[in-house]
Amino acid sequence: MLKPIVAASCLFVVSLPAQTTAVVPVEYETTEAPGLELIPFGFQRVRCTQYFDLAMLYGLKKFGKITEIAYRRDGHAYLLLTLTRASGNWQVRMANYFGDARNPATLYLPPGGQLNELTSVFNATVNWPALPSTLAPPEKFLVRFKLARPFTYLGLGLAIDHFSYASTGRSFGYAVDAVRKNLDAGKWSPYGVSCALSENRGYAIPSNPGNQRPLELVLFGGPQNSAAVGVLGGSNTKWGPLKLPFDLSPFGMTGCSVLASQDILLPTTTLSTGGAKLTFLIPKDPRLAGLRLFAQWMVIDATKKVPLRFSNGMDITLGTSIGNHGGPQAALLYGVGGVARSTRGFLAPGVALVTEFTQL
């Protein structure tokens, strides 16, 4: 009597569809992409729709059911740090999309279930994984969303909508791998050290002339609700008569240094999280293409005997592309902070988060 049951069980197991995975863009399946993104996972209040054109999705099976999507940390940012962020509710919706994926409307897609309408596939509290650096990019796909219900891909373009609106609007250095292929949107690298080493971390997101996505200077780990100044300069070797870096240890600021010429000073205030951000739209002026800048944060820290502290330096080179042209056939439509609840977002054409899809 057991033999037919066992045989039927084996037949059932054999008939189960095999899971497959595909990475988009496919050329970065085993290599690190040249960019990074803090949107959406670096924010607690954020909405972000990733649009992919059909041309980028040939690795997906038409009518296959997507059961999981995943992302990986950027392999070049903060190599000695493990990236972390606070847990919280997160929503993911998806849509089969027909339209220009690199230049979609700035109005977010509506909910529904039809073509160009968003279907809810994930809504849960996420305990975000720590993302260590292996110093051997690309990293593993550790940021994973197992969908509550499979999403059927129809062989068209695709929209993936992420949304979170927490009680506080904290931000984190939770950067994931991304690409802006063929669009030179600039580059940056940290230099020097912050004081103290684990605090006042400076981070930059470069841009290029005429890009709607601004140049951003971001501060993490600063003092809470305190005065801060973003510094922009044209040199990291001299500031007036001073040679840089200029060591401030003799003035009671052990381990601190002036790392950038203080040509432009931009005051702001840190949030209750100790974070701050300054943004700059780069004019569509070809003379700015490839311009090299140096940046640093200065903050007031009342807990210190000498209450002035400094971040690491940020070596920024503006991109040589003019405008938003180029890049993969993809786009991000996004908003952070209070704008996350708006019906419209800011458009960043030609940007793709490196995404792993699991399908049945």
What are the pLDDT digits (tens) for 73-120?
Answer: 999 887 788 999 999 999 999 999 999 898 899 999 999 989 999 999
d(CA 96, CA 94): 7
What are the pLDDT digits (tens) for 228-273?
Answer: 999 999 999 999 999 999 999 999 999 999 999 999 999 999 998 8
Closest residue by Cα to residue 55 from 94, 97, 115: 97
* Domains defined for the chain, CATH in brackets: 18-182+324-359 (no CATH), 187-317 (2.60.40)
CA dist 170 → 272, 302, 333 (Å): 8, 21, 20
Buried b (16+ CB within 10 A) or exposed e, 293-315: bbbbbbbbbeebeeebbbbbbbb
Extract the tokens encoding 327: 């890049």
User: What does the pLDDT read at residue 325?
Assistant: 62
User: What does the pLDDT read at residue 7?
Assistant: 44
User: What does the pLDDT read at residue 15?
Assistant: 52
Which residues have C-beta within 8 Å of that of residue 268, sequence separation ≥ 6? 228, 229, 230, 276, 278
Q: Decide if 212 contacts 346 (C-beta within 8 A).
A: yes
User: What does the pLDDT read at residue 18?
Assistant: 83
Per-residue confidence band for 3, with pLDDT thresholds at 50, 70 and 90: very low
DSSP 98: -
Percentage with pLDDT > 90 across the chain: 74
d(CA 260, CA 264): 10
- Higher pLDDT, residue 102 or 278: 278
Count CA within 13 A, CB hemisphere, residue 355.
22
